[in-house]
Amino acid sequence: MDMISSVLRRPAAASFLSLLGVLIFYVIFGGVDLGKLAGAASWVNYAARIGIVALPVALLMISGEIDISIGAMIPAGAMTTAIIAGHYELPMILAVIAALAVGVLVGLFNGLLATRTSVPTLIITLGTLVGMQGIVLAGSKLLTGAASVPLNAPDWAKTVFGDFIFGGSHQVVIIWWIILTAVFWFLMHKSKYGNWIFAIGGDKVSAKNAGIPVDRITILLFIGTATSASFVGMCHAILFNSAQVSGGMNDIFNIIVSVVVGGVLLTGGFGSILGVFIGTITFAIVIKGIDFTAIDRNWANLIIGVMLLAAVGMNETFRKKALTAVTKKKKG
């Protein structure tokens, strides 16, 4: 019992239970073959795509801010890559640098506005979201005359950013996702910077008074979200040899839902990387795994809605548990 309650008090508990719940539901009502599901690439590819962005978004949300401009940054990264390497036929390395630079610039812009003004970051990044959508659409029409641009990626770029691995249909971004999860886990839970981010989300003024460079960290976190989004867009353009202007509205909510199911508190100060990792997998299994069940895929959104509410409810309960728990020191 003691062990169960100490597991439940971890921020990842709710996401783990959500995953378990979804799997049980799919097995009982969808007759899913778990072995087949585990071997399938579709949901893992999808999880990697949203997971790479969900990690920095989780950090940002733990620090008490939010970034919805990621929705525009995925197509922005893809279009930048395609326009430079495809339309202008410049070296791929330039396209990669430019795509990441666009992310850094937009992140810097968001971060500076967030730290210099008192406008809520939901509004600031709503502005950049819509603004970037305009820039991407108008810019690609202006430069290429089309909203869809093909490109040919050289072998090295394919291998690193956009290839299939294990000779199957798993994408190389999965490896990026796993490496980044390890990096973010270390950053958040093992290094002192994680402590700072939790503190910023807990009480910004006190964190500042404790000497933590709150503004610099906030700006870096915004750079992280925007750059990771444009990175994902770039990988996709390289993988599919083309890029289209798209709204990316779905991505915003999918990523935020993954983070929240992963146990991150919307008001900041609480969450874990393991939770976000599991939350992303859960989300991807609901969306893509439904194809392996007998359930009509149109029901997927309902499942997500229910899962989101259930996860938030569980998080609430477990957090209360964590706050009231009086643990005994285990000795010897």
Question: Among the candidate windows 53-61, 96-104, 208-216, 231-239, which touches other proteins by CB under 8 A?
Answer: 208-216
Closest to other proteins by CB, 83 vs 180, is: 180
Question: Could you say whether residue 319 binds other proteins (CB under 8 A)?
Answer: yes
d(CA 217, CA 83): 32
Q: Which of 208, 244, 291, 299 binds other proteins (CB under 8 A)?
A: 208
**Could you give the CA distance from residue 148 to residue 255 in angstroms, rounded to a whole number?**
24
Establish if 323 lies at the interface with other proteins (CB under 8 A). yes
Task: Tell me which of 101, 146, 178, 325 binds other proteins, using CB under 8 A.
Answer: 325
**H helix or E strand, kind and range, residue 314:** helix 300-324
Under the binding rule (CB under 8 A), the answer on residue 291 touching other proteins is no
Identify whether the C-beta of residue 72 lies closer than 8 Å to the C-beta of residue 202.
Answer: no
Verify binding: residue 220, other proteins, rule CB under 8 A: no
**192 is an interface residue for other proteins by CB under 8 A:** yes
According to the binding rule CB under 8 A, does residue 139 interact with other proteins?
A: no
Hey, what's the torsion of the CAs at 60, 139, 85, 170, to 10 degrees?
Answer: 50
Among the listed residues 51, 111, 194, 275, the single contact to other proteins using CB under 8 A: 194
| Rounded Cα distance, 25 and 277, in Å | 20
DSSP code, position 327: P
Stretch of residues binding other proteins (CB under 8 A), selected from 19-27, 153-161, 188-196, 228-236: 188-196
- What is the closest distance, in whole angstroms, from the C-beta atom of residue 229 to other proteins in the complex? 25
Q: CA–CA separation, 242 vs 306, rounded Å? A: 36
- Pairing, β 170-171 against β 148-150: unpaired
Candidate list 126, 269, 291, 310; residue touching other proteins; CB under 8 A: 269
- What whole-number distance in Å separates Cα of residue 160 and Cα of residue 169? 15
Q: Which residues bind other proteins (CB under 8 A)?
A: 186, 190-192, 194-196, 198-199, 202-203, 206-212, 265, 269-270, 319, 322-329
